[in-house]
Structure 1
């Protein structure tokens, strides 16, 4: 198991996330509602709902928003029926991109995602072979040092750990996600993130500034779509270039 990774699969653009806080809350609320609809509306009896609420709390989503999202799943609440649809394709710089959506209108979402790939990438295509399907459990960096988290993850049955200045990302086999999370909760408390994720098998180094700008714009367009819940991409951008883009 690796205790540290010098790469990040998705560049963390905190400023952009802060500017889109209302949109982030909307997406979190949708996941909470869907999780409550597909299982029991009680977090202690519904792992997906518990994970969705934890993710919302990690983003400082108000408790009233969380409660309203759960109530929409109850009889007489939100009547929308959401489908989970995943799209794959190539983005700028031959970066493989997987887009996970929750939509109440498949035609609208498919058209929007296809248009983004056509404008910025090379279109929709099969790229999932460039990723590994894994379980992801994430704690903030302040939860402990890398060695402490690594030891706890090994004892819990995790496969890998990547620690950086922001978070500890613990990876599991998909079928082991719930068991590893439960074991870690006993030692470390509730994680910020618990979900199935796409982990790149290889990373594409983006070194050209124009190409990097195009890629960031493309990812922003996807993430700005209300139906898009998560975007995974297999790229790496040097810190210096990333900082110049932020500037």
Structure 2
């Protein structure tokens, strides 16, 4: 096991402007509802619901809003029947993309995802066309201030994690999916609640992309994230720091 993997799990995340925050709330509420419907309404006994609650807290969602979504899902009746769908394809520069969605209208979601890929230099593929380039992992994230890289590595190993990546953005801890709850619980005993805890897609390798491709790729990612049905997008790209600095201006 390596303490610091050379590969990063790159997930595209949007900023915290009001419109984006509202859209993020919509996605989290949907996940809370589905998690409560498909399992127990107690986060301590339902790992998926607990992960959704963690995401809701990180987004500063009110306790009342969370509880309403959970009660709605636990009731089961009169709510939309959401279906989990995964789309796979390629973006500009040969970047592999996995798009996870929760939808009550498969045709609508497929149309939105296909249009986003088509408008921004991507190609939507068949199921399994890119997922072999990723591994399914348990993922836990802590902000950088909670611990030094060495302390986090030691604690993560003791908790049963497989890998830790620490940097300016914080600590990313990885475990096999079946060990996610154990690793998360062990870390929370020492550092408190995590900022994120979920099953995730981690690229086995990353693809470096040029500036023009990066610009188009970010437009594609924005278009995908703009869909209320899309919960998460994983990609295997890497953009050099100097290009990211220019694009961030």
**Length-normalised TM-score, structure 1:** 0.92
Cα distance in 1 for partners of 2:209, 2:78 equals 42
Q: CA deviation at 1:38?
A: 0.8
Q: Secondary structure at the match of 1:74?
A: helix
Q: Structure 1 residue aligned with 2:155, among 112, 128, 152? A: 152
**What residue is the counterpart of 1:210 in the other structure?**
212
Once the two structures are superposed, the pairs formed by residues 66-145 of structure 1 within 5 Å of their partners are 66-75=66-75, 79-120=79-120, 121-125=122-126, 126-145=129-148
**Structure 2: unaligned runs, 5 residues or longer:** none
**What residue is the counterpart of 1:18 in the other structure?**
17
Cα distance in 2 for partners of 1:78, 1:29 equals 16
**Structure 1: unaligned runs, 5 residues or longer:** none
Q: CA deviation at 1:77?
A: 6.2
Indicate the RMSD between aligned Cα atoms, in angstroms: 1.8
Cα distance in 2 for partners of 1:174, 1:76 equals 27
Q: Is the 8 A contact 1:5 1:163 kept in 2?
A: no
Q: Is the 8 A contact 2:51 2:198 kept in 1?
A: yes
Cα distance in 2 for partners of 1:96, 1:12 equals 13
Q: CA deviation at 1:114?
A: 1.4
Residues 1:242 and 2:244 aligned together: yes
**Length-normalised TM-score, structure 2:** 0.92
Cα distance in 1 for partners of 2:245, 2:231 equals 26
Q: CA deviation at 1:11?
A: 6.3
Q: Is the 8 A contact 2:37 2:76 kept in 1?
A: no
